[in-house]
Every structure is written in structure tokens, then in C-alpha cells.
Structure 1
């Protein structure tokens, strides 16, 4: 069995395949371990550097916005302090009228500059006038001598301080400026600036911006739950300094549960514990010495870790795909010889099947050619049968007309015989002029009989298949010559209205005449014996380049039960011997051959209406071939 496997090509190929898979698996595993071991460090460092760069940009924008907001109001307190009315107020603080005037002035300036509050303090720290004089609570009467912005300005400097208002309980940045008079510094003007607008723009995104005071307490942040929290230990010394200036009024200060760290590349990391667990941030810092602030941008490192893991996973997947690609390539090489053999056998089998199928297709093609020839013969027979049916319908109509037409011909014949006898007598008597008039009447009667005979002959013969312009007025006139006897027999009144300019249609004159004969004959049959024996024949052009011919009678109409069978061959509602049932069927096929439509409907006011729709023609010339 072993010797058999050694000589079996398939067994050797399977052994090579297993060896290739083992080697590729070991190589791929080693490469993946190297990627996980070294890629974690380098990918983390790379993405932390990119995050730090984004943080620096965000930090620069935040610091610029803060400095711009503060610079907007920095010079204003001194301008207000130099106002003569302000100096007059602090020189005579008991002047209540002046106090009211300055209150209104400060309120107007505060609304114009969109600051938070403006107020004037006396050297003892009492507030004499304020822009919120008409609000509750108001700064008037309050003493803020413990604030650094007050005693710095009272000592002749510029007061700057950020704090939570003890009266309004609103955060703000305070600017103080001394009021210099001839007697020295007589008071202080204070501007309070609201920076909530800047803080509200920090919310959202994958970063947090915080501003801390010298004690490390957060007083500005996009997260309200971090306000008045310290990222440094709140020692007794720090708490005492904060209490002295009452920077945060009666707000409860707390420490954030933070853990600091430092990466090998020198990046500052800060972990903050919360309800959802600890979250690590990359910290980028910039100080604002002019305001004694520290601005920090905290970028969540979860996105960094996600990018790092995604990169490592992508690299591992790439290695796996490479290993799979190599395995597939080796597998294809191992099976190439086997495939060539299989293809050779398949080619031989295919050639054999092609020969068999070719023979089968040749036989099928012969059968199809015979069937096509048979169908063409059947089509020719069908067309001839249809033509014979049309001719049979006309001959049947001629048979019905024979009796009535014999009467039509007998009358002029009898009159001609009488006129001939009269002419002979007039000649014998020498009345030649009167004899000539009589001969003229005989000629008129013979022309009438010749006209009737001509129409019958044209109607009876088979027309050719050529279509062309047909004038409706001429066709209707010829039709009336043929069908006049039937209208007279039914005592029917045919009303013809072809419009002011009779139209021309694309058809064959004789076959269109046959259709009209069939339809008008049916209408005469329908109204025969009724009180209202009017039949209307009208034609009108349509907007889509067609002409509609309408024949309406006042008969009983088409019953709904037979409406679908009205065009069936040999279907008739007349009695035995009164028709073959081919008239409407032949008419339908004739109109269809013309490229038009024939419809028979029941009129809403009673009776039947036949509607013929044909293509309009621009040449109202009767077709000579028919």
C-alpha cells in the first residue's frame, strides 16, 4: 500500500500540498506575532503624535478666543474711570440724583458693550452705582473689598481676577481700574465679562477643553460636572488661598479622581474615573500668564487605541491574505498537470458531443425548413381564402340586390320603349323637333342604366392590393348608387355630412365602398319598420392625423350578449336566407388591411354606431387602378 502511494501522482501531490500549508502557516504566525509585538508600540506612538498635533491646533484656537474676549474689555474700565461724571460721583457719593444718573449710564454702556455687569466702588469697597441697579439682587450696597481686582486697582494698578460672583452666583472675569481725582484715588470702576459664550462652543467632539486657576481648580469646561473640581490635591494651603479671595463663593470644591501618566515619547496622559469607568486623555497644555490661567485640551485616547488596533488587525489580515494567496498559487501549480489531463479528456469528449449535436442540428434545420415552407404555403392559401370570402360577401350582396335592381332597370327600359314609340309617331307626323327631345330622354335613361351597371361591375370585381388616397365624397356617392335600392326598400332616410371640406383617406376605393355598403345595409335592416328610420353618415378629421367615419342608426342596437361575437365569420342575427354572416367580418378585415380600426357599439341614446378610423391622405384623388 505504501509502495502504491509512492508511485501515485495524486498521493505525492497531496503530501506536497500539506507540506506547503504547514510552512506557510508557520511563517504567517511568526509575522503576525512580530506585528503584534512591535506594531503596538510604534502605531500607538504615531497616532498619539497625530492626536497631539490636532490638540495643539485646538488649544491655539481656544487660547486665541479667550485672549480676544478679554482684550475686548481690558481698556474699557479705565475709559469709564476717566469720565468726568464718574469722578463727580465718587467725589460726592451722597448726591442721590447723580447716583441715579450714573446707574442709567452704566446700564446703557453695559447693554451696548454686551458685558455682564459694570459697577463703581468707593475706597472702602462699598458699591455706589451699578448697571444692575434695577435687578434683584443688585450690587449696590455690597462690599467687595476682599476681591483682588479691587485692592489691586485701589493701589493704583490694574485689577484682573476670575471668580464666581458672590451676589449673582455667575462666573465672570473682572477688570478693575482706579478713579483718579485731584484728591487721589477716590474709587474703582469694575467690568465683569461673561465668557459662557466661549465655553459653550467647546462642547462636542472627541476632546475636552478646561481652564484651571493657579490652584488647579477647573472653572471653565465643556462638561458642567467638572466645574469647581481640582485636578491637583486640594491641600489646606490651596483651600485657604481660595477662601481668602472667595473666588468660588460658597461653591463646593472637590477633587477629580485622576491618575497621571507619561509616555515614552513624553506625552502627558490623564485618566479620569467616572460612572462609566476610567477614561484616558492625552493632555496638551498652554498657560495664559496675563490672566494667571492654564488652558488644557484633553483628547480621548480611545480613538487612538481604536486606530492602533485597526492598523494591527489590517496588517495581520494582510499577512493572512498574503499567505492564503501564496497557498492558492502553490495549489494551482500542484494541480496544473492534473487539470491539463482532465482538459484533454474533456476536449475529446466535447468534440465527440459536438459531432453528435451537429448532426442533430442539421436534422432539426431540415425539419424547420420544411415547416417554414409549409407555413408559407398555408399563409398563401389563407390570403386567397380571405380574398375569396370578401368576393363571396360582395356576390351575396349582389344576389340580394338583383331583384330590386331589376325593378330599377325595368322602369327606364319601359320608359325608353314608350319614348321610342312616341318618337316614331312624331317623325311620321313631321314633328322633328319634338322627336329629337324624345330621343334625348331615351339617351338620358340609357346613361342612367349604364351608370348602375358600371357601379355593379366595379363592385363585383376583385380589387388589387394597392392602397392610395381615396376621396370620401366620391366613394360615398358611388356607394349610394349601389345601396339606393335598399334604402328605398326600407324607406330609410340617409343623412350625409362630410364637413365643409370632404377628407381623403388612405385606402382602396372599391373595398372601402364594400365596407360602407355592408354597414349601411345593416343600418337599413335595423331601422326597417320603425318609426324613426334616420341613418346618419358623417366624417371628421382628428388631431392625430386620422379621419373618423361614423354611421349611426336608430335601431334596437347591439345586444350586450353578442357584442363580442359581432365580427365572427358566419355569425348573423338575421333570419335564414337573409345573409351569410360575413359582412362585418369582411369589413373588419378590410379596414384592418388599410391600417385602420372598425368598431361597432351601442349608442347611449339608442341604436347602433359603427366607427371607422383611417389614416388621412393629402391627395384626394381617386385611385384609378380600382
Structure 2
């Protein structure tokens, strides 16, 4: 079928319009897909934050019962007028609060009146105040250990209270309570890639990395709930406000939320239920990355479609031109048939050569791309694939012989090989990801502590130890908690791998200012390898034990923080990896 140039342009414009409409219609579904991916990524920092919160709460839980066993407390409760004992108890409670970093530790008699407190020297002390209306007091007075989240009616601080009975023989003579300021948790969350919030059973926000979300409910509270809050003085009833949030489910644990304000904000929310506390902790990351990913995908698809349409346009115009040329050629053929025949033959030969050259160039480009990819991946994938083939053949043979146990073992080995190839693929995705996540001030001491906790599982299983003397002062650096923890874990794991054949596998960690050093006692780094140690896909490990991406990823992470990562051999043997980070101003924590 022959097309005129006008009809060709009309056809191309119609296809382009249909393509744009299809992209616009598919954008919402594509954005939801990337939001679900973002929610899955949020689950990792959320889990770490939940575990950190739970660990801190559990650290304070046994303290009231231990402090309540002190004999001087019983002595003071039996004789409240003894000023000598009162002074001793007040000072002991003050020193205890300073030691455990509690906001207050105070003693109440059975009427609920506070007769001694760690803050006895401060103007906002609990001394003389009566707390018999608080649930933690009544529960402790009944002989039970108790806990309770509350807004401090005296100090104005948001606190978490634990209480235990003080006993004189079999008789309860008072209650010992300990309070710590929950604002300390929020300071750790600030600066992360996501915002965090903790809500109670009524969807009331009492902890958050965003101060403007404090004391706001994400759904309307009933009059009965408000009366109960006012009765227990649990939250400041005059400050309770509604956080105008509209949520749309993405899956069982994630939602897309819109928060109305100035300006409006859009987030992807991932939640985890703390059943024992009847709390819900959520991580909210901005929805902008998912939207940009969807737009980028549509842009790439649009550019691809544009190239295809351009190629189609060129082809059709060429065909139209050829048709016109052919008509002129036929007219000239009647006059100069022989000459035209020779020229036509030359033209056809030239076109054939051109098409062959284009085909060869396209094939060469494909082979070049495949060669670049296979050079890095063929060895890592060929070995597990060969193992899978071998195990599959063995499983078939065992099934033919009705040897189910051996067949099942080979099938399990095939599954492990598949997991290994999935791990390789995950490393490649991590390497390709751009390091554009937010950074901010954080405690280097805390990051090292969390990294060592992650490696403890491997140390327990394989043997080995970590020699580390924490600095006596807090060291603040600029970075991201999770990503810097990933760097330290990677350096420790590499050190353990380097000492695989050593009888005593000891990884030494040293901190000097904002510089961190990780040393092993292995064979060290060969001189010719030092210059390439941070190159992608460079590895000295045996085949199948690494892609050579870990140090390259770590190098990029540290560079993103404005720091440096270097490697050298130690004069005493082994290798030393040095992480130099940028110092940061300490974050001010609210007064206890």
C-alpha cells in the first residue's frame, strides 16, 4: 500500500497521541508499584527503630523493683519525719537517676504522696505531689510491676513511667517510680531518610521525629476516649489536635498517606505493631522518589517510543521517496532503458551493502554490550548453574531409584544455589543504586555498637572476637546511621574473611576523633592489589565467595558522607581500613 507524505505524518501523529494517553493512564498504577517497593525498603529501618525502642524500654523495666529493695526506703516510709534518712534517700535517688540516665526517680507512700525524689533540688520536683490517680501507682500498690506512657503534668516532659511496690515483709508500704524522657528516642530518629511516629491504641501520636505531630490524633477521638485521657492526665487535653491524614492501602503493612497542611505532604507509610505495648510504630518516607521513578520510567518509555516512531517515519518517508523515484525511473526507462538498468543495478548493490553494514554494526554493538556484562557476571553465575545442573541430574537418578532422602537433599542444594544467585543479583542492584539519601549528625559510638551487634551472630557461629574500647566521650559525625552501619559491618566481615585460616580471629576497632580503623591479622594486601581494592568487581576471594562490590559500595557511601575510605598494610601484619568522617555539631537533647 502506497502512502503520501501527508498520510504518513497523520499516522505518526495518531500513534504518538495514543502513546501519550496510554502513558498518562498507566502512571497511577506505575506510581503505586514504586510506592510498594519504597514501603518494602522502609521496613528495614523501621525494624531497627522498633528494636531500638523496645530495647530501651526493656532496659528500664527491671530498675524500679531493684531500687525498691533498698532498706532505707522502707525505713523512710515507716518514719517520714526522719530528716537524716530523708536526706540520704533523696541524694541516693538523685545519684541513681544520674547513673541510669533517668528523668526522675521518686518514692510515694501508700496515699500516693511523693516523699522523696531525685529532683529534690529542682524547682519542678515531684516532692509533695500526689499521684494516686495514675494507673501505674494503683497497679504497683496492688503488688504488680507496671508501665505507663504519659505527658508529665509537673515538668511538661513526655515521659514513660515504670513503678514497683516497696515492701516491708509481706506488707506494701509505698511505691517506687522511675521516669525517663521519651524525647531522647526522637533525637536519634531525626536525620533519617524517613519520619517516624508511635501511636497508641487510639491512633494518638505521642512520639515522633516531627515535633509538629506531637499530641495529634490521626483519626477523630470519641468523647469517651477524651474523658479517659483527661481523667488519667495522660496527655495535655488542651493540646490535643487532629492530624488531617488520608490513607490509601498499598498492602497489608503499607499505605500511601496525604497530610493536609501548609504545604500538603505526601508519604509512603510502613507500620509495625508492638502487640505487647498496644502501640503501632510507623516509618513515613516522602512519596516524591516513587513519583520520580514512575515519571522516569514513563520518560524512558516515551523516548523509546519516540525513537521507534522516528524510525518508522524515516522508513515510510524513504519508501514514499523510493516510490516516487521508481515512477520517475520507469518514465526514464522508456528512453534510456539500458543506462537506467545499469544504474539501478549499482543502486541496488549499494543499498544491499549499506543494509549489510548496518546489520553488522548492530550485531557488533549487541556483542560488545553482552561481553561487558558477561565479563563481570559469567564466572559468578556459571559455577552455581553448573552445580544446579549436577544436583538436578543426581535428583533425577535418585528419584528413579526411589531414594527420596538423597533426592530431597539435592533439591535443597538446588534451592540454596538459587538463593546464592539471588544474593549476587541483589548486590548488583545495591551497587547500581545512586547514593542520594539524606545525611545528618549522628553518634559514631552508637553506630559502631549497632554494627557489632549485627556481627555477633556470625561470631557466635564461626568463632572470633572483636577488640574495641569505646571512646569515653560522644563523637558526633555527619552521615546516615543505617548506611554507615552497613560500611562497618562490611569491613568487619572482610576482616573475618581475611583471617579465615588464623587460629585466633580478632578484629581490632579503634576510634581516634572522627577517624575509625578496622584491622585484621591476616596475610595483608598485595602491593599490586592496593590500587584496585575499591574497584567494582575486583576481589581476592575464592570464586563463588563474593562479587567484589562490598568495598566499592562502602567507598561510595563514605564519599557521600564527605569522608574517605582507604586501605593499607599494618607494620605488625594484616590490613588496616581507615574511615575518615566529617565532624558534626551535637544534637541538643531536651532537658530531663
Normalising by structure 1, what TM-score? 0.49
**Structure 1 residue aligned with 2:31:** 44
Which residue in 1 is equivalent to 2:156? 169
Superposed displacement of residue 186, structure 1: 0.9
Q: CA deviation at 1:127?
A: 0.8
Is residue 275 of structure 1 aligned with residue 262 of structure 2? yes
The separation in 2 between residues aligned to 1:266 and 1:72, in whole angstroms, is: 28
1:194 counterpart = 2:192: no
On the 8 A contact 2:196/2:208 being kept in 1, the answer is: yes
Return the match for 2:225 from 238, 246, 259.
238
Aligned to 2:82: 95
Deviation, structure 1 residue 263: 5.1
Offset of 1:319 from its aligned partner? 0.6
Distance in 1 (alpha carbons) for counterparts of 2:68 and 2:169: 13
Residue in 1 aligned with 2:349? none
Whole-angstrom CA distance in 2 between matches of 1:136 and 1:265: 49
Structure 2 vs 1, CA of residues 95 and 250 (structure 1 numbering), >3 Å: closer, same or farther?
A: farther
Aligned equivalents of 1:305 and 1:252: distance in 2?
35
Q: Is the 8 A contact 1:32 1:319 kept in 2?
A: no
Residue equivalent to 2:359: none
Distance 2:316 2:147 in 1: 77
> Does the CA contact (< 8 Å) of 1:160 and 1:291 recur in 2?
no
Deviations 1:225-262 (A, max 9, x none): 11111112122101111011101246521112233434
Q: Structure 1's 318 and 68: CA in aligned 2 closer, same or farther, altered over 3 A?
A: same
Q: Cα distance, 1:333 vs. partner? A: 6.4
Give the equivalent residue in structure 2 for 1:287. 273
**Aligned CA distance change for structure 1 residues 164 and 251 (closer, same or farther; 3 Å):** farther
Check the 8 A contact 2:270/2:284 in 1, yes or no: yes
Q: How many residues align?
A: 329
The aligned counterpart of 1:31 is 19
State whether residues 69 and 195 of structure 1, in contact with CA within 8 Å, keep that contact through their aligned partners in structure 2.
Answer: no
Alignment of structure 1 residues 457-606 onto 2, 5 Å: none
Match of 1:378 in 2: none
Shift of 1:204: 4.1
CA offset digits 1:271-325 (Å, max 9, x no partner): 221022x333333222223333221222332332332233223312221122113
- Give, in angstroms, the shift of residue 106 of structure 1: 1.0
1:145 alignment partner in structure 2: 132
Is the 2:216–2:243 contact (alpha carbons within 8 Å) kept by the matching residues of 1? Answer: yes
Greater relative CO, 1 or 2 (CA 8 Å, sep 6+): 2
Cα deviation 1:340-385 (Å, max 9, x = unaligned): 99xx9xxxxxxxxxxxxxxxxxxxxxxxxxxxxxxxxxxxxxxxxx
Q: Partner residue of 2:172?
A: 185
Q: Which stretches in structure 2 are left out of the alignment for 5+ residues? A: 330-339, 344-592
| Cα deviation 1:379-414 (Å, max 9, x = unaligned) | xxxxxxxxxxxxxxxxxxxxxxxxxxxxxxxxxxxx
Q: 1:129 aligns with which of 111, 116, 120?
A: 116
Secondary structure of the 1:134 match is coil
SS in 2 for 1:54: helix
Correspondence for 1:83: 70
Q: Tell me the secondary structure at the aligned position of residue 321 of structure 1.
A: helix
- Number of the residue aligned with 1:491: none
In 2, the alpha carbon distance for the partners of 1:213 and 1:264 equals: 21
Deviations 1:166-202 (A, max 9, x none): 1111111100011121151111111111222220232
Q: Give the greater-gyration-radius structure (CA).
A: 1
Q: Give yes or no for the alignment of 1:156 onto 2:143.
A: yes
TM-score, normalisation: structure 2: 0.51
